[in-house]
Amino acid sequence: AQKVTQAQTEISVVEKEDVTLDCVYETRDTTYYLFWYKQPPSGELVFLIRRNSFDEQNEISGRYSWNFQKSTSSFNFTITASQVVDSAVYFCALSGNRDDKIIFGKGTRLHILP
Amino acid sequence: DGGITQSPKYLFRKEGQNVTLSCEQNLNHDAMYWYRQDPGQGLRLIYYSQIVNDFQKGDIAEGYSVSREKKESFPLTVTSAQKNPTAFYLCASSIQGWRYEQYFGPGTRLTVT
């Protein structure tokens, strides 16, 4: 069975601090896909990144970076120099190779304090 | 602008009434999905459709129905059989299947009293 664990339910940091959101996954598939989504207060989920299991390169996009480590089954998300606009709920998600649905984690609510 | 539209943003209904939530996409995506989100909770899959005229039940399909007569449209009906229909409903689409990222609409907040 597939599983996604976001152990941090809620995090608060002061603006300009760096923050890392953890995501640990379980799957028996050798090919799988990992995702991060952002849900701002407006409610609409926004796609941030997709990674397949064969690509372990870390990704950087502006202030956002992702660290994918198969050895620890983790796909962590770091926001550098956080801003108030980063306040949102962030979801990590996993889908397998067999087109067998997507599993979302329960989300981490991030508060960036001015 | 390509995207997904859901209407209305807020919907109020009396208990015992069926209600249909609209979802339209102009992204030319094959797959479409409906999720339910309760306060402080993650997403739960209601129904999904990988292709026109075909759809599958998700994890919480009881009390809901869908149709997929056109590629662009995937309406969700919340029937009176749904015990706790008050929730935030999100529609999404992806180019093909679960391997690809999903793009979400703005959601419909349904309140049933």
A105 CB burial (10 A radius; 0-12, 13-18, 19+):
buried
Residue of higher predicted confidence among B5 and A1 = B5
For B34, other C-beta atoms within 10 Å of its C-beta total 26
Q: Does A3 touch chain B (CB under 8 A)?
A: no
Residues 48-67 in B contacting A (C-alpha not used; CB under 8 Å): 48, 50, 58
For B106, other C-beta atoms within 10 Å of its C-beta total 17
CB contacts of B109 in chain A (<8 Å) are: 43
3-state secondary structure chain A: CCEEECCCCEEEEECCCCEEECCEEECCCCCEEEEEEEECCCCCCEEEEEEECCCCCCEEECCEEEEEEHHHCEEEEEECCCCHHHCEEEEEEEEECCCCCEEECCCEEEEEEC
Mutate to test the interface with A, among B32, B35, B43, B96 (most CBs of A within 10 A): B43
Specify whether the CB–CB gap between B76 and B94 falls below 8 A.
Answer: no
CB contacts of A97 in chain B (<8 Å) are: 99
Written as one letter, the residue type at B93 is S
Strands annotated E in B28-80 = 31-37, 43-51, 54-57, 64-66, 76-78
Contact flag A97-B99 (C-beta cutoff 8 Å) = yes
Q: State the pLDDT at residue B105.
A: 96
pLDDT in tens, B94-111: 998 899 999 999 999 999
Dihedral sign, CA of A10, A15, A17, A18? positive
Give Dmax (Cα) for chain B: 38
Contact flag A106-B42 (C-beta cutoff 8 Å) = yes
Q: Does A99 touch chain B (CB under 8 A)?
A: yes
Contact flag A42-B106 (C-beta cutoff 8 Å) = yes
pLDDT in tens, chain A (114 residues): 789 999 999 999 999 999 999 999 999 999 999 999 999 999 999 999 999 999 888 888 999 999 999 999 999 999 999 999 999 999 999 998 776 689 999 999 999 999
**CA distance to partner chain B, nearest, from residue A2 (Å):** 14
Contact flag B88-A91 (C-beta cutoff 8 Å) = no
List, in order, residues 6 or more apart from B71 with CB less than 8 Å away. B28, B29, B30, B52
Q: State the pLDDT at residue B1.
A: 64
